[in-house]
């Protein structure tokens, strides 16, 4: 049985809306589906402003740029995160400052943030790792004490909740990815959300070459901007996906419960946690492998699962050890992040994953543990 890591479910009104878009002739970044998708996305989160962009990375770049972070500034972020987070900080000439993770949630450890704050710190970038909310209350308190911005990288956590609040609505600005393997997708794409209308206007301008539209001077550009628009076709897909988001999240949580039940008693396997007050969306169902108890290491397990047509993925490699960053940061020590990176594996988790496929994945893992392969 072939089990992919994460496939999108495109069985809603995606084709209907895309055909409507094509028939209208509006297929670029100008069109009714873009504004409608932005409005529905904002409404779903209960926030005032949502700005559709070309990718989650573009969203992060625009967020940092809109906050006027630049050369000489520092942004604190977890090293256990997608490299795009640090890259967005580098794009504007600022310096990433890394922090280790919590062992329980794998998110940035709030207790380790304050020691990294300097007179150059301008923001804290928080990642809600694999769909589990970061502990936002102490982070927001630190930000208020030091007059810092908080950027939520909610790329993996659309629909997750922290103490009843939607992830992405707690910080000053938040970014989402809408890549093909996310909870909802536009193929490629992203979204920036904020309650701050002034920031929203800046982001809308930056994503579209900073045209002077207010004075109707189409070929006059007020600043150096970017071509980060989402197409109307992508937005049509996104709108259809958003109509089904509650069902997608229920599937992910149901599948996580089944994985938990089937894997709970297996030695050497640590299951993902859900902290009290958090509503995890389990974008990726992730386990940790302890070689001393399980009998083989994470990488060997992945190879053996691949032989059985089960697609998996290693978790993030710490950014401070990535080739573009290692020369500057490689001497730094983040033991929890490094341990997670050696042991973590993303099991199949997509919107189309069936219970039958989960039973097959778990059966194969148990066979491997027993040495039957």
**Residue tagged 């950014």 (tokens):** 319
For the chain, the structural domain boundaries read 14-242, 245-370
Dihedral (C-alpha) 85, 38, 245, 349: value to the nearest 10 degrees?
-20
The backbone region for 39, taken as left when phi is positive above 0, alpha when psi lies in -120 to 50, beta otherwise, is alpha
User: CB count, 10 Å around CB of 292?
Assistant: 8
CB 158 within 8 A of CB 184: yes
Give the pairing type, strands 149-153 and 121-127: parallel
Give the pairing type, strands 165-166 and 344-347: unpaired
Fold of 14-242: 3.40.640
| E strands, the chain, in order | 49-53, 74-78, 95-99, 121-127, 149-153, 161-162, 165-166, 173-177, 190-194, 211-212, 217-221, 269-270, 278-279, 285-289, 313-314, 344-347
- The alpha carbon of 346 is separated from its chain's Cα centroid by a whole number of angstroms, namely 14
Catalytic residues: 182
Domains 14-242 and 245-370 in one fold: no
User: CB count, 10 Å around CB of 4?
Assistant: 15
3-state secondary structure of 211: strand
Rounded distance between C-alpha atoms, residue 128 and residue 262, angstroms: 25
Along the 373 residues of the chain, how does pLDDT read in single tens digits?
999 999 999 999 999 999 999 999 999 998 999 999 999 999 999 999 999 999 999 999 999 999 999 999 999 999 999 999 999 999 999 999 999 999 999 999 999 999 999 999 999 999 999 999 999 999 999 999 999 999 999 999 999 999 999 999 999 999 999 999 999 999 999 999 999 999 999 999 999 999 876 666 668 898 999 999 999 999 999 999 999 999 999 999 999 999 999 999 999 999 999 999 999 999 999 999 999 999 999 999 999 999 999 999 999 999 999 999 999 999 999 999 999 999 999 999 999 999 999 999 999 999 999 986 5
Q: C-alpha angle 144/147/148, rounded to 5°?
A: 90
Entry pTM: 0.97
3-state secondary structure of 143: helix
Q: What are residue 240's phi and psi, to 5 degrees?
A: -65, -40
3-state secondary structure of 56: helix
Taken in order 24, 30, 36, 40, is the CA torsion positive or negative? positive
Pick the CATH number of 245-370 from 3.90.1150.10, 1.20.1250.20, 3.40.190.10, 3.30.43.10: 3.90.1150.10
């Amino acid at each position: 049985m072939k089990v992919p890591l994460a496939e999108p479910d495109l069985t809603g009104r995606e084709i209907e809306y895309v055909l409507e878009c094509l028939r209208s002739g509006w297929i670029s970044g100008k069109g009714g589906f873009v504004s409608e998708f932005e409005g529905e996305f904002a409404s779903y989160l209960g926030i005032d402003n949502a700005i559709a962009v070309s990718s989650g990375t573009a969203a992060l770049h625009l967020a940092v740029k809109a906050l006027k972070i630049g050369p000489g500034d520092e942004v604190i972020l977890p090293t256990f995160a997608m490299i795009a987070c640090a890259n967005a900080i580098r794009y504007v000439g600022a310096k990433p400052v890394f922090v280790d993770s919590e062992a329980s949630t794998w998110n940035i450890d709030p207790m380790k943030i304050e020691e990294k704050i300097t007179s150059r710190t301008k923001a804290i970038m928080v990642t809600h790792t694999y769909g589990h909310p970061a502990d936002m209350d102490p982070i927001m308190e630190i930000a208020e004490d030091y007059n810092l911005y908080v950027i939520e990288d909610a790329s993996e956590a659309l629909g997750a909740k922290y103490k009843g609040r939607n992830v992405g609505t707690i910080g000053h600005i938040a970014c989402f990815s809408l890549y093909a393997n996310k909870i909802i997708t536009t193929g490629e794409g992203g979204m920036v959300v904020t309650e701050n209308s002034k920031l929203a206007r800046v982001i809308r301008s930056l994503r579209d070459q900073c045209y002077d539209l207010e004075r109707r001077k189409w070929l006059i550009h007020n600043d150096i901007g970017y071509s980060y628009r989402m197409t109307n076709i992508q937005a049509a897909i996104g709108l259809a996906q958003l109509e089904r988001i509650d069902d997608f999240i229920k599937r992910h949580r149901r599948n996580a419960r089944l994985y938990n039940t089937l894997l709970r008693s297996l030695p050497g396997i640590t299951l993902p946690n859900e902290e009290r007050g958090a509503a995890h969306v389990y974008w990726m169902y992730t386990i940790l492998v302890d070689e001393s108890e399980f009998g083989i290491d994470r990488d060997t397990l992945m190879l053996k699962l691949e032989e059985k047509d089960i697609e998996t993925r290693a978790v993030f490699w710490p950014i401070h050890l990535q080739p573009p960053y290692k020369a500057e940061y490689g001497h730094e020590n983040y033991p929890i992040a490094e341990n997670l990176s050696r042991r973590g594996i993303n099991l199949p988790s997509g919107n189309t994953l069936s219970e039958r496929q989960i039973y097959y994945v778990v059966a194969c893992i148990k066979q491997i543990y027993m040495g039957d392969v």
